[in-house]
Structure 1
Amino acid sequence: MSGLPDHPVRPADVAEQGIEVRAESPTDITATVDGNPVPVSVNDEGAVLRPGELSEGEHRLRVELRSGSLPWNRTLQRDFTVDATAPELETPDSVTGESFSAPVTVEGRARGADWIEVAGQRVSPDESGRFSRELDDPPATVTVTAGDRAGNSSSAEVRVEMDHPGMRAVHMSGMAWASDQLREPVLRMAREGRIDTVELDLKDESGEVQYDSGVPLAERIGADKGYFDARKTVEQLHDLGVRVVGRLVAFKDPVLAEASWKSGHRERVVQTPGGGPYNGGYGDYSFTNFANPVVRDYNVDIAEEAARLGFDDILYDYVRRPDGDIDSMRFTGLDSTPSESIAGFLQQTRDRLRGHDTLLGASVFGITVNRPESVGQNIPRIASYVDYVAPMIYPSHWGAGEYDVADPNNEPYKIVNRSLRDWQRAVEGTGAEVIPWLQDFSLGVHYGPDKVRAQIEATRANGIDSFLLWSPSCRYTAEALTATP
């Protein structure tokens, strides 16, 4: 008799494959499992028994074979075990390294496992199922799989993270950085210790690539403007001990959208249900299709080029669908929800950046913390694939009564303090940090040092020592920032 191994088998394997019995010229075979008759299909080499899907535990197979040349039956009996329980796998959600290329150790426990793989390589557990493996050059996510001899398996993913060093940053466009009048005050703040990070546009809302890029598609569509020398700028700031973050506006890209539409690649553009370019108040060729592989690769190529040039972080903006009624939009090739597709794009970027020791962040709408489908930004999902989320919680952008704050624009401490509590809860367990965008501009209410400082104090009240200041004019209130030696 064959077809039953000397180890436990899975119920599905028995049900789908049956149990083979080999015999010479059988004329009649009958079988039972635990005393119950089993259907038998006879063939030239023997028979296949089909007992169906058996319950987990011990079973007894009894087979009787009758040959025409013998006056008696031959009885075969075999005890076997059915096992439907996968190993119980315990791993941490994440491990932290000194850098993304530094070795990390992944440890865990797998009860009931006969074999364990960590990042595709077998490891030997001890008697209690505990295992450990050091990875010299870990991927962004380490897959751990544990299996038994029956074929049951469990798997888990362990994120490889690095603690963000923190930032006190200001935003600068490429053209602003090229202006002595706007650049020098920022450098002065850096020398005085008021800021430790400068965030520079790589590609902005206009779709223009601000630095001297060599990405082929940027050159072909005329997006490459070269307002500043990226390598020289990074070296200058690093020499001052200042980190450099590259802001990359992802899917609001009129240059790529118009070039794609006019060259016949309309699938790269967000469309109306009727097949026209989606406007939604942004302009006919404003939003590219986040589900399109060419659009995704274009942005990731820029991000990776910036990483090679020495940028410490890549911070995506407009990593979302257009706001508005989703039924008025069509995304060619989308096979999931917008939020799932956008999170997948961030995962794609993260995997490309890790080899450069470059951190990844995502700027997100302040309201998405509790309205995830408003623009396709599911915060816990996004946070699983970035090192930090940067919510835009500008007081002027909140409506009256949000978080029980009567006039958010006039009460910056209250609205920042209360909204950040939700943000901290939203990323809990993901490994991502919250680094908010704060307001250093006047919109309806004058913002001077007191109101800018109030936002920073509210951020620190939530245990967050990092922030990014936004000013459309790229002029900043130095007096609101504390100078450090």
Structure 2
Amino acid sequence: MVDPTPDENDNIDTTDERQGDQHDSARHRGRSSWTRILLSAAGILLVVGGIWVGYLMTEQRPTVVGLPEHAVTPSKVADGAVRVRAESPDGITASIDGEPVPVRVRGGEAVLRPGELEEGEHDLRVELKSGSLPWPQSLERRFEVDSTAPEVKTPETVRAESFSAPVTVQGTAEGAAQVDVSGRRVDPDGSGKFSAKLSDPPATVTVTASDRAGNTTSSEVRVEVDHPGMRAVHMSGMAWSSAQLREPVLRMARNGKIDTVQLDIKDESGEVQYDSGVPLAERIGADKGYYDAKKAVEQLHGLGVRVVGRLVAFKDPVLAEAAWKSGNRQQVVQTGTGGPYNGGYGDYSFTNFADPVVRDYNIDIAVEAAELGFDDVLYDYVRRPDGDLGSMSFAGLNTTPSESIAEFLQQTRDRLRSHGTFLGASVFGITVNRPESVGQNIPKMASYVDYVAPMIYPSHWGSGEYGVADPNNEPYKIVNRSLREWQRTVEGTGSEVIPWLQDFSLGVEYGPDKVGAQIEATKANGINSFLLWSPSCQYTEEALTASP
């Protein structure tokens, strides 16, 4: 049998199958391309969307500044220290502990002003409404408010061997992160104790302790140097220029009966007794040049004698008249109606202790005296006029007269300390228990001077003071009893008492017995120092004994 010949149609069917396979393959390739295109497009959209969402989530999210990790003070939060930064701060709202907080937009920031917050922990929530998202951006912060300042304990005074000797200031500052002692940072230990050695201490060391929140507490420590003491006599500038009056004083010094001479720098007439270089003294004609201050100091130092410069502060007719006539009436004590206060002293008699120019003028003269070699500056008339306080006016006074005068003494002491010069203040005897009589509060003043010099002249006490019937005739009793109170009054201030004693006759004749009785009464109170006052600058040498 012969195999059948292949049919033509068989060939056609085979070709169709091949063509069909080719078409299926083409269709498959087309579907794959579209899939790839769609997948690529979806990927791009996801990336773009992710970038867009990421942009919105990061760039638009608000951030808070002004809230450190540690606690903050109530005042810092209340004063607008807490701020919120965002691209569009106008849409920011805030709440603390669920209560809305006023928000003010300033300089591209939203400033929060919640007012004073109580001490303790608080919750802050900030929201920023966005037009690009259906929900607001928000953040939450927990923070702590601390209003408790560190507790600082320091001694009131520390003693130094001399003005140039180092001192160590110690204390405790409970709750403090750091302590500043006169500009020097000191880190307290775990119990709050600190110690700082100062090689060149000022008259008053300020100790400031601060915690991490910013609460601070300050304390002042006075650096005290023991005064060497004095047995002194007063000499005006004119008296020192007179050989007749000067030589007896030099003789007493050579014989060891006195160890100090007090020379006037500026007296109650307002005249500077030597040729001063202080510009204001020259401008108003106050410097008179009655004696050569530098030469006098050198001469006395050559004898081993200390020199105290007496500086009358606020009874100053020269400055007062010059100030009034030049239109600077605020420098003068005035009446309630605006005229110059007289009070029995004469017009233009008292300058205003609260005025900065008046203060600087006196301090400049004190510093000049220190530079000339004076060992002490002893203020006199460092007070207001006596009389009814209601009849006087002090321009610029924003506290009591006694507080203002004590502040003036502190300013002077700070300036003199670098020159190694002691500071004293002559005061009325009655001010020991009548502090507001002339604006001399003794404990306040004593805190800022090395010694107070009460004028306890027996002739100046009234009958019956301290139980003494006739003080002028009983100098021992009145000096002894008044000094007891003076010693008690300055106790704890770091100041000493060096009294002015009377070597003149006023109603009762004073000679060696009565002058000597005052010196003995002073010694009975443990005080071996005194200043003798004689308006004539002539002294009872017989009342003085040579030092052993």
Pair 151,449 (structure 1): closer, same or farther in 2 beyond 3 Å: same
Q: Which letter does structure 1 place at the counterpart of 2:539?
A: Y
Question: Matches of residues 13-162 of structure 1 in structure 2 within 5 Å?
Answer: 13-17=76-80, 33=97, 37-40=98-101, 53-59=116-122, 79-162=142-225
Deviations 1:212-267 (A, max 9, x none): 32223323333222222111111111111110000011121222223333444333
Residue aligning to 1:193 = 256
Task: Name the residue aligned to 2:331.
Answer: 268
Q: 472, 486, 497: which one pairs with 1:434? A: 497
1:209 aligns with 2:272: yes
For each residue in 1:361-405, what CA deviation from the matched residue of structure 2 results, as whole angstroms up to 9, or x when unmatched? 110111111111211112122112211111101111000011111
Aligned residues of 1:15 and 1:54 also touching (Cα < 8 A): yes
Bigger CA radius of gyration: 2
8 Å contact kept, 1:115–1:146: yes
Q: Does 1:345 align with 2:396?
A: no
Distance 1:280 1:468 in 2: 28
Alpha carbons 1:321, 1:338 under 8 Å: kept? yes
SS of residue paired to 1:362? strand
Residue of structure 1 equivalent to 2:37: none
Indicate how the Cα distance of structure 1 residues 18 and 249 shifts in structure 2: closer, same or farther if over 3 A, else same.
closer
Q: In 2, distance between residues paired with 1:192 and 1:461?
A: 24
User: Which SS does the other structure have where 1:228 is aligned?
Assistant: coil
Structure 2 spans left out of the alignment, 5+ residues: 1-62
Whose relative contact order is higher, 1 or 2, with alpha carbons under 8 Å and at least 6 apart? 1
The alignment's TM-score, normalised by the length of structure 2, stands at: 0.80
1:277 aligns with 2:362: no
Q: In the alignment, does 2:482 pair up with 1:419?
A: yes
State, as a whole percentage, how many aligned pairs show the same letter.
Answer: 78
1:330: which partner in 2?
A: 393
Look up the match of 2:240. Answer: 177
In the superposition, relative to structure 1, how do residues 73 and 473 fare at CA in structure 2: closer, same or farther (>3 Å)? Answer: closer
CA distance in 2, matches of 1:160, 1:459: 26
Amino acid in the other structure paired with 2:100 = P
Asked if 1:402 is matched to 2:465, the reply is: yes
Question: In the alignment, is the contact (CA less than 8 A) between 1:189 and 1:195 conserved in 2?
Answer: yes
What is the deviation of 1:50? 6.9
The alpha-carbon deviation at position 318 of structure 1 amounts to: 0.8
Residue identity in the other structure for 1:299: N
SS of residue matched to 2:336: coil
How many residue pairs get aligned? The number is 482
Decide whether aligned partners of structure 1 residues 151 and 183 sit closer, same or farther in structure 2, where only a CA change above 3 A counts: same
Residues 18 and 51 of structure 1 are in contact (CA less than 8 Å); yes or no, is this contact kept in structure 2? Answer: no
1:219 aligns with 2:271: no
TM-score (norm 1): 0.90
Shift of 1:211: 1.9
1:136 Cα deviation from its structure 2 partner: 2.5
Is 1:304 matched with 2:331? no
Q: CA, structure 1 residues 468+5, in 2 after alignment: closer, same or farther (shift >3 Å)? A: same
Letter in 1 for 2:472: N
Moved more, 341-350 or 299-308: 341-350
Q: In structure 2, what residue type is equivalent to 1:189?
A: M
Q: Does 1:376 align with 2:439?
A: yes
Is contact 1:86–1:148 with CA below 8 Å preserved after alignment? yes
User: In structure 2, what is the Cα distance between the partners aligned to 1:65 and 1:93?
Assistant: 55
Q: Distance in 1 between matches of 2:104 and 2:357?
A: 55
**Cα deviation 1:255-311 (Å, max 9, x = unaligned):** 222333344433333232333332221122322222233322222222111111100
Please say if residues 39 and 49 of structure 1, whose CA atoms lie closer than 8 Å, have aligned partners that are also in contact: no
Equivalent pair of 1:144/1:157 in contact (CA under 8 Å)? yes
CA drift of 1:59 comes to 5.0
Q: 1:108 to 1:446 in 2, by over 3 A?
A: same
How far 1:74 sits from its partner (Å)?
9.3
**Cα 1:228/1:13, change in 2 over 3 Å:** closer
User: In the alignment, does 2:518 pair up with 1:455?
Assistant: yes
Verify the 8 A CA contact 1:399 1:408 in the aligned structure 2: yes
Asked if structure 2 preserves the Cα contact closer than 8 Å seen for 1:200 and 1:245, the reply is yes
Alpha-carbon contact 1:28-1:67 (below 8 Å) kept: no
For residue 294 of structure 2, the aligned residue among 231, 242, 256 is 231
In structure 2, C-alpha distance between the alignment counterparts of 1:5 and 1:60, rounded to whole Å = 14
**Equivalent position SS for 2:168:** strand
| Distance in 2 between residues matched to 1:20 and 1:298, nearest whole Å | 48
Instruction: Verify: 1:291 aligned to 2:354, yes or no.
Output: yes
CA contact (8 A) 2:92 2:110 kept: no
Task: Show CA shifts across 1:404-458 (max 9, x none).
Answer: 1111111112111221122222222222111111111111112222222221222
**Conserved in 2, the CA contact under 8 Å of 1:39 and 1:50?**
no
SS in 2 for 1:224: coil
Tell me which moved more, 263-272 or 460-469: 263-272
Following TM superposition, by how much is the alpha carbon of 1:88 offset from its aligned partner in structure 2, in angstroms? 1.2
Q: What's 2:228 paired with?
A: 165
Counterpart contact for 1:171–1:200, Cα < 8 Å: yes
Query: CA 1:282–1:53 in structure 2 vs 1: closer, same or farther (change >3 Å)?
Result: closer
Deviation at residue 348 of structure 1 after TM alignment: 2.1
Q: Which runs of 5+ in 1 are unaligned?
A: none
Structure-2 separation of matches of 1:59 and 1:294: 50
- What is the distance in 1 between the residues matched to 2:260 and 2:155? 32
Q: Answer yes or no: is the 8 Å Cα contact 1:38–1:51 preserved in 2.
A: no
Cα deviation for residue 47 of structure 1 reads: 7.9
Q: CA 1:173 to 1:74, structure 2 compared with 1: closer, same or farther past 3 Å?
A: closer
